[in-house]
Structure 1
Amino acid sequence: MRKSWAVVAGAVALAVGLSGCSVLEGDPNKAPEPSITIKRTPPPGSEALAKFYSQELSWKGCGVGQCADLTVPLDYSKPDGETVKISVLRMRATRPNEREGSIVVNPGGPGGSGVDYARAADFIVGKPVRQRFDIVGFDPRGVGRSDPVDCLSDAGMDEFLGSEQTPDDAAEAQGFLAEGKKLGDGCVQLSGDLAANISTIDAAKDMDILRSALGDAKLNYLGKSYGTYLGAIYADLFPKLVGRFVLDGVLPPDTTPEENALGQAEGFERATRAWAADCVDGGNCPLGNSVDAVMAGMRQMFKDLDAKPVPVSGDARVKELTEAWASTGVAQAMYDQGQWSTLTDAIAKVKQGDGTDLMGLADAYASRDPDGKYTSNLLEAFFAISCLDNPDSPDASTYEERAKAFAQKAPTWGAFMAWGGAVCAQWPVKSDVKPHKVSAPGSGPIVVIGTTRDPATPYENSVRLADQLSNGRLISFDGDGHTAYGRSNSCVDNAVNDYYTEGKAPPKKLDC
């Protein structure tokens, strides 16, 4: 879990589950005119891409919303070479006569579907925003419907995700490294040149071509989790094309793989302690009668499952809950406190020798059905993109040392997060991306949101990016769960809604 295997699990599940719901005013199949008609030309220095910037999208009704394909170069250094089709979905503003433009959205990952996310437009932005903006989502290259990267069979993914992920000795460490190499080699074998051209920089360049195709002079954007990293990279490349930008639950581009891993370990530790307090307050907590006792009980549960997995029923392939699957299930519940009671009940059943319910949480994390079918390539794309963006050390001793150091600050999650980087240790394709600060001089206000007990994207990350940006604004939400806009309180929601609809940026710092 370098950043998070399913940072977008809750958001994507919402989008998929509610994709049949939308309340529209007007004809959803009639394409509105852009609020600002501009000449579709590339920004200075990108003239070789003129044919891509000049394209107009051919929208067609597709059940809920309108769909189109955007054409972009596979390799931006070879604009006359192969191309990639990017799947785009637009949910029209519910009051077309008041339409102000588009907001492009990304739910995170990497690997999350922006198409599925945009389908839930009624639920991911406030009503005033929904009325006045088209909500546009796209599956980034390599993801979902946009030439998806493929790395392993479904059975191979089961083996990878269920295997030992906190090695206890040198043999287990080499085995884990071998599993990561198998995944990377599979990406190259099954996906060819695509595997080398799905970095976040590529996706950010695609997003600017999408901006032009939408007819917008500047890009309005809502990015959550990894979507903040994508947004920050866009702002770094195209600062003067930044419109109304909101980055919620931050992954700063200047953090190293080690910093990311430690930050997540500490974030999940805080979130798990918050769940533990809730478990104790509810009475009859299956792991202990105090927060410290519950945390110790969680670690013992993982250790016991490592030595002796418990049975799982009703699954086509996975017959036992291993330590790896259990940790994935627990992590899933940390993204939203609405899942805490489900986790408590699932752990109680594990203590009784039944891993079925905790495996169900792990399935949700992995976008996996009990019949063994993965409903998206989220995890394959996650690693394929992450390992291009943030390559890590090939030396197993690096992760052994990190595991020991991280355990001092995050006893429950330190080893999991430390060893997560090893998946990218021997990744077969490389990039020249380096961690770097983003200031985006000349941009409009960029609103950054941080949740104080966010497990996947620690609050400190949001403070860090807001401070680096030349025109950053920080909204701090004192609460639990992953991200804040649309799931926290009216203080956050009203500030973001006013920014989008009125152009009224929040103050430099706003506490909610």
Structure 2
Amino acid sequence: MVALTLTGCVTWFIPPKTAQTSTPVAEQVAADLQPFYSQVLTWKSCASGKQCATAKAPLDWKNPSSGEIELALIRQTAKGTKQGSLLVNPGGPGGSGYDFVRDSVDYATDSTLQQHFDVVGFDPRGVGHSTAVKCYDAKQMDGYLYDITPGTRGSDAWIAENTSVSKDFGSACATNTGALLEHVDTVSAARDLDLLRAVLGDKKLNYLGYSYGTYLGAVYADLYPGKTGRLVLDGALDPAASNFDVTKVQAQGFESALRAYLKDCLAQKGCPFSGSVDDAMKTISDLLASVERSPIRNSDGRELGANTLVTAIIYPLYDATAWSYLTDMFTSVMKGSASTAFTLADAYNNRQSDGTYGDNSTEAFMAINCLDYTYDADPATMRAQAAELSKDAPVIGPYMSYGDIGCANWPYTSTVERGPIAAKGSAPILVVGTTNDPATPYVWAKNLAGELENGHLLTYKGEGHTAYNKSNSCVNGAVDDFLVKGTIPEAGKTC
């Protein structure tokens, strides 16, 4: 999950400047990769004073001559003496690093990093402005994301209907995307990352990855330990976690964050809840059960069911500064209105007010995850997992179950074996974890830092998803010192 959904395309005309180029570093690579590693990037002026370029990468890294794809790049050049490039990834999978730097470079990085590095945003293969996964038009996507499956959750008929929906979606992705769909896995994206490092002219990779971007960075370090420069992985995924492990720990994380929100809400005027945190959690559980039975119709004809309401709940939990939106939403839904809930769910899905979608993040999310994990949609197994989720996260858990249906019938079967990543021989890697991060819970940061042979953990004691540039000067200072100077925080450092 993306920590931040970015919208808004810059459409005004900017007069072109003289194009600049990047000189690739000399690399010893296989002959069939040499044309890719020796390409010269041509940078042209684009949005907000930044520069944009396109790189070519092999469609299939195991067979580089089988075709090529395009990778979209955008950079803000260093404001001071340049140390090199800093590539940033906002997460997802499916988040656009291009949009991240174009629209929110000051959110992605602070002024210290902008002084020393060219800040480079890129869209991984399958995402956004790069050669992209394409599945549905806007109307079809509305149906896929918001339609309510009839019947009792977990029943044979309910599972069969969701299986049919998932098969149709996967089939559309295969038809509309073509050969790329088989090659959007994270290992391929990490190989792209090394290619980008080389054509940007950097001997080693400097990288700031958030959320899913931590997994991309860890895979890179494992594949290219000798090419790691300074890597910061903020809001870590545990590479060893199975798909169900991820779902379970995330459900617990969102449940914990929801309790933290309620504790704060109950101390404020205008909170729609009363009594204890447990009382308020029971109210939310009852509210979800109510819209599961009797959805609330929105003014645009869409119906608010439990899944969409959970999406609306989860989105503001990514950032404690957004908790007030939760208060507004719960107040609205309790009065029988679906509008605020749809506003939040639409923001999470990057659905625009005109009904179009601002990016392909949902499609890319599914396509990448379906290749990165293995899945088991056996009904008995899923029902046992659903019972476990309901026990461990009674409010959120029931609506995060049965997720394996989405990828179990994907056009391409994943063969990835999840396991710890050690990245033996890499340079020091800084892992940043937030103690009550709902989307990438703190235990994953501890696990990743421990799995990496040269991993170092920086802890932020607080709320929200990811910490750098949104928590405090202690975190920012430690990350900046690591990226700029190579200074490793002392063991056990907590901010």
TM over 0.5: yes
1:116 to 96, 99, 112: 99
Take 2:270 and 2:111, find their aligned partners in 1: how far apart are those partners? Answer: 41
> Does residue 288 in structure 1 map to residue 286 in structure 2?
no
Matched position secondary structure for 2:489: coil
Matched position secondary structure for 1:464: helix
Q: Give 2:107's aligned amino acid.
A: F
Partner residue, 1:67: 52
Q: Is the 8 A contact 1:42 1:53 kept in 2?
A: no
Q: Give 1:66's aligned amino acid.
A: Q
CA distances 1:365-409 after superposition (whole Å, capped 9, x unpaired): 000013211111100100011001012113122221111011111
Shift of 1:274: 0.7
List runs of 5+ in structure 1 lacking aligned partners.
Answer: 1-6, 21-27
Q: Is the 8 A contact 1:472 1:508 kept in 2?
A: no
Q: Is the 8 A contact 1:264 1:417 kept in 2?
A: no
Q: Give 2:2's aligned amino acid.
A: V
TM-score (norm 1): 0.91
Q: Structure 2 vs 1, CA of residues 494 and 19 (structure 1 numbering), >3 Å: closer, same or farther?
A: farther
Q: Structure 2 vs 1, CA of residues 19 and 274 (structure 1 numbering), >3 Å: closer, same or farther?
A: farther
Take 1:466 and 1:18, find their aligned partners in 2: how far apart are those partners? Answer: 37
Partner residue, 2:227: 241
- Counting matched residue pairs gives 488
Q: Structure 2 vs 1, CA of residues 451 and 262 (structure 1 numbering), >3 Å: closer, same or farther?
A: same
1:413 to 386, 396, 406: 396
> Does residue 299 in structure 1 map to residue 293 in structure 2?
no
Take 1:146 and 1:263, find their aligned partners in 2: how far apart are those partners? Answer: 31
> Does residue 491 in structure 1 map to residue 457 in structure 2?
no
Q: Give 1:493's aligned amino acid.
A: N
Map 1:3-402; keep pairs closer than 5 Å.
Answer: 7-10=1-4, 12-13=5-6, 16=7, 39-43=25-29, 46-64=30-48, 65-95=50-80, 98-119=81-102, 120-164=104-148, 167-313=153-299, 315=300, 318-402=301-385
CA distances 1:400-428 after superposition (whole Å, capped 9, x unpaired): 11110111111012122222232112112
Q: Structure 2 vs 1, CA of residues 42 and 178 (structure 1 numbering), >3 Å: closer, same or farther?
A: farther
2:448 to 443, 465, 468: 465
Q: Is the 8 A contact 1:286 1:347 kept in 2?
A: yes
List runs of 5+ in structure 2 lacking aligned partners.
Answer: none
Matched position secondary structure for 1:510: coil
Q: Is the 8 A contact 1:184 1:428 kept in 2?
A: yes
Structure 1 residue ranges, 4+ long, deviating more than 4 angstroms after superposition: 16-20, 28-34
Shift of 1:169: 2.0
Q: Structure 2 vs 1, CA of residues 271 and 217 (structure 1 numbering), >3 Å: closer, same or farther?
A: same
RMSD of aligned alpha carbons: 2.0
Take 1:479 and 1:72, find their aligned partners in 2: how far apart are those partners? Answer: 40
Q: Is the 8 A contact 2:18 2:44 kept in 1?
A: no
Q: Structure 2 vs 1, CA of residues 454 and 19 (structure 1 numbering), >3 Å: closer, same or farther?
A: farther
Q: Is the 8 A contact 2:154 2:402 kept in 1?
A: no
Partner residue, 1:25: none
Shift of 1:288: 3.3
Shift of 1:148: 1.4
Q: Is the 8 A contact 2:3 2:211 kept in 1?
A: no
Matched position secondary structure for 1:420: coil
Take 2:58 and 2:21, find their aligned partners in 1: how far apart are those partners? Answer: 27
Take 2:44 and 2:481, find their aligned partners in 1: how far apart are those partners? Answer: 31
Q: Is the 8 A contact 1:59 1:68 kept in 2?
A: yes
Take 1:303 and 1:421, find their aligned partners in 2: how far apart are those partners? Answer: 22
Matched position secondary structure for 1:433: coil
Shift of 1:18: 10
Take 2:353 and 2:288, find their aligned partners in 1: how far apart are those partners? Answer: 22
CA distances 1:332-356 after superposition (whole Å, capped 9, x unpaired): 1111112111111111111111110
Partner residue, 1:24: none
Q: Give 2:389's aligned amino acid.
A: F
TM-score (norm 2): 0.94
Partner residue, 1:441: 424
Matched position secondary structure for 1:432: coil
Shift of 1:163: 3.5
Shift of 1:168: 4.4
Take 2:3 and 2:356, find their aligned partners in 1: how far apart are those partners? Answer: 16
Take 2:141 and 2:371, find their aligned partners in 1: how far apart are those partners? Answer: 20
Shift of 1:508: 3.1
Matched position secondary structure for 2:469: coil
Take 1:31 and 1:265, find their aligned partners in 2: how far apart are those partners? Answer: 48
CA distances 1:200-230 after superposition (whole Å, capped 9, x unpaired): 1111101100000000000000000000011
> Does residue 425 in structure 1 map to residue 419 in structure 2?
no
Q: Give 2:393's aligned amino acid.
A: A
